[in-house]
Amino acid sequence: MASLSYLFVNRARFPFGSTEFFRAWAKRFFAFNELFKRNTRRAKLIKLGAEIHETAEIGEVTVDGHKENLSIGAFSFLGKVYIALFTDVEIGERVCINDGVQILTASHNVADPKWRHIKKPVVIEDYAWISTGAIILPGVTIGRGAVVGAGAVVSKSVAPGEIVVGNPARPTSKKRCEHLDYNPCEFLAANRAWLKG
């Protein structure tokens, strides 16, 4: 939802001169700097070849490698995230990736005398939530609606709706509900200033 044009078109409207009108525009004014930074980050990555939906929120992301290997769907949020793009990283729609997360797409073959690179793509499906400080290793798919707990190290794919924690990440007995209908970008203050006032 960070696109300025999207927010302007979909802004909450209040009668001119009302308390709500002035309150909403004051919030928008003070949140504009953060909104501008996220828009600038998205635009820079797109210019370098990434495919990022106009409603995706891009925080202080560090992306190493070929930017054209990155795809981010609608209404997804990335905080202070590190992504190593030796090969493809595909992030679906309405995904939340918190601060400190690392997404890695390559490693070394320890059984190879020449210690060659092994590159494998990472897929994070719709509604997945990757919590603070988690590490996603090469070749992993995080299923739709799955949750990766804070600090977890994920070396194997996670089934849809599954909740994994620990190092190495292991499933818990809990599961997420099957019907998910939320937008992680709605919770950001800069967006709420426009959409809710």
Active centre residues (catalytic): 108
The Cα–Cα gap between 72 and 92 comes to 6
Peptide bond preceding 121: is omega within 30 degrees of 0, i.e. cis? no
| Token pair recorded at residue 46 | 């797109």
CA 152 to chain centre: 17
Count the Cβ atoms, other than its own, within 10 Å of residue 69.
Answer: 22
Are the beta carbons of 135 and 152 closer than 8 angstroms? yes
In one-letter notation, the amino acid at residue 113 is P
Residue 2: what are its φ and ψ, rounded to 5°? Answer: -75, -15
d(CA 137, CA 87): 12
Query: Which residue in 73, 81, 72, 1 sits closest to 34, CA to CA?
Result: 1
Q: For residues 57 and 79, is the Cβ–Cβ distance under 8 A?
A: no
For residues 187 and 31, give the distance between their C-alpha atoms in angstroms, rounded to a whole number. 13
